[in-house]
Structure 1
Amino acid sequence: MVGTNFLNAKAVLGEEKLQGIADVSGEGVSTNLEKVLALEPDLIIVPNFLDAAEFEELSKIAPTVVIDYSGDIFSRLRSLSEIVGKPEQAYTRLAAG
């Protein structure tokens, strides 16, 4: 991960785990598209509650994948690991507890 919206990520990950990751937060809950563009991402992963217009703009920068945030964290971890082609890492982490 090279960038994320710190408004949401700080609550889940904390400052320590966000070291070296760019904050792409924009005004309110939106994303700063210029910051995302500057990161030159290979892939953008967004939540299913993202505004359709913002999704369209992000998808012009890099391939953009929507992930369902309505399920539990374990489902999201499995989905994310499959998107990035490392499902075995999610299963190892889930098995470890």
Structure 2
Amino acid sequence: MSASTVDAHGDELWLRHGSADSRVEAAQVGVPAQAATALAGALTKWQADTTALFGRFVELSEAMRTAALGYAQTDAHNAARIAGVGDQVTADNLGL
């Protein structure tokens, strides 16, 4: 899975949860006061949960990008080392 895929999932979560939040807010108008209070409390918790989940998606995608950069740097370093060793090999070293 790529970091951009994780970003896309995070964005989708944020948008879909935001849409659900809007529907809950709109529903509060037509319900009894106690129910509206309960919905408001639940909505506050859900919004906090969404923020935490979205933050985790951001952390994961950043970690994936950092890991990919580290991998690329290690790969380039090792390729240079292998090329350096290859430059030292002659037909005499190979017993040819």
Higher helix share: 2
Instruction: Please say whether Structure 1 and Structure 2 have the same fold, judged by a TM-score greater than 0.5.
Output: no
Give the TM bin, normalised by the shorter chain.
Answer: under 0.3
User: TM-score, normalising length from structure 1?
Assistant: 0.20
The structure having more radius of gyration, on CA atoms, is: 2
Higher strand share: 1
More relative contact order, 1 or 2 (CA 8 Å, 6+ apart): 2
